[in-house]
């Protein structure tokens, strides 16, 4: 029992030291040697828990990243399940309903999203934001088709502009974290930006 407890304490110490190392030096600059020193273990001991730096970073950030992804996907699935006329009505309130949970989810795990957005490899961050953007893009196309079926005069738009608009939503969230915007300001800014964006979407959708 004691040995198991000590092993878990060591693992937690490595994770905490790793988090501080990644926050300070970023993924590329992080050193397992420094992490080991901070955690009071040998570098070899780290490999007993994690195959390498990538696995340690993934262990730190994976649950937070996947949690946001799944919640965001579920939100869009719930929206898509609404009848088209209800989707049009929901556009007026969707920012007020959904921006706060996204901002609060990120800010409840601020250090982890600082790692994901600002301290990971460029490939990791681009891939993660890309996955979120794909959810937004797919939902947007479904909404376009729903509004056309209702007879609205939807503007002609292509996949490039849809991608740019979808990506910009997550770029704003990235900006909040990158610039250490306080939570209350991030919530306020997010609602203003959401109102701005949805006014634009209503124009595009002919609502």
In 7-126 the beta strands, taken as DSSP E runs, fall at: none
- Measured between its terminal Cα atoms, the distance across the chain in Å is 64
Average pLDDT over residues 113-141: 93
- The confidence score (pLDDT) of residue 41 equals 94
Tokens of 83: 């009848």
Distance CA(143)–CA(192), nearest Å, equals 22
Tokens of 63: 């649950």
- The confidence score (pLDDT) of residue 96 equals 76
Place of tokens 């996955």: 131
- The confidence score (pLDDT) of residue 135 equals 93
Query: pLDDT tens digit string along 86-100?
Result: 888 877 777 777 889
Task: Please report which confidence band the pLDDT of residue 1 belongs to, taking 50, 70 and 90 as the band edges.
Answer: very low
- The confidence score (pLDDT) of residue 5 equals 54
Distance CA(89)–CA(102), nearest Å, equals 21
Average pLDDT over residues 59-82: 92
Tokens of 98: 């959904």
Q: How many CB atoms lie within 10 A of CB 61?
A: 24
Q: Could you tell me the sign of the dihedral formed by the alpha carbons of 189, 191, 197, 199, in that order?
A: negative
- The confidence score (pLDDT) of residue 17 equals 97
Distance CA(135)–CA(124), nearest Å, equals 17
Q: Over 80: is that where the pLDDT of 74 sits?
A: yes
Q: Which of 172, 64, 173, 63 is nearest to 109 (CA)?
A: 64
- The confidence score (pLDDT) of residue 37 equals 95
- The confidence score (pLDDT) of residue 84 equals 84
Percent of the chain with pLDDT over 70: 97
Q: Over 60: is that where the pLDDT of 81 sits?
A: yes
In eight-state DSSP terms, residue 41 is S
Average pLDDT over residues 141-164: 91
Distance CA(145)–CA(151), nearest Å, equals 10
Distance CA(192)–CA(151), nearest Å, equals 29
Distance CA(8)–CA(198), nearest Å, equals 47
Q: Over 70: is that where the pLDDT of 48 sits?
A: yes
Distance CA(168)–CA(106), nearest Å, equals 17
Distance CA(120)–CA(193), nearest Å, equals 26
Tokens of 92: 């007026």
């Amino acid at each position: 029992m004691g040995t198991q407890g000590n092993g878990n304490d060591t693992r937690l110490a490595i994770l905490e030291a790793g988090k501080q190392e990644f926050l300070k030096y970023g993924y590329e600059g992080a050193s397992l040697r420094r992490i080991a020193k901070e955690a009071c273990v040998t570098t070899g001991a780290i490999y007993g828990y994690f195959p390498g730096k990538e696995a340690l970073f993934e262990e730190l950030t994976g649950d937070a990243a996947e949690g946001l992804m799944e919640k965001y996907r579920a939100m869009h699935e719930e929206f898509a399940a609404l009848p088209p006329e209800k989707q049009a009505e929901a556009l007026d309130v969707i920012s007020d309903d959904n921006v706060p949970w996204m901002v609060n989810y990120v800010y409840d795990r601020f250090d982890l999203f600082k790692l994901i957005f600002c301290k990971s490899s460029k490939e990791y961050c681009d891939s993660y934001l890309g996955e979120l953007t794909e959810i937004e893009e797919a939902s947007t196309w479904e909404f376009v088709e729903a509004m056309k079926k209702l007879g609205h005069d939807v503007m002609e738009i292509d996949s490039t502009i849809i991608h740019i608009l979808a990506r910009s939503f997550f770029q704003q969230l990235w900006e909040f974290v990158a610039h250490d915007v306080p939570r209350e300001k991030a919530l306020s800014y997010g609602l203003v930006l959401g109102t701005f964006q949805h006014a634009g979407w209503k124009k595009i959708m002919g609502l």
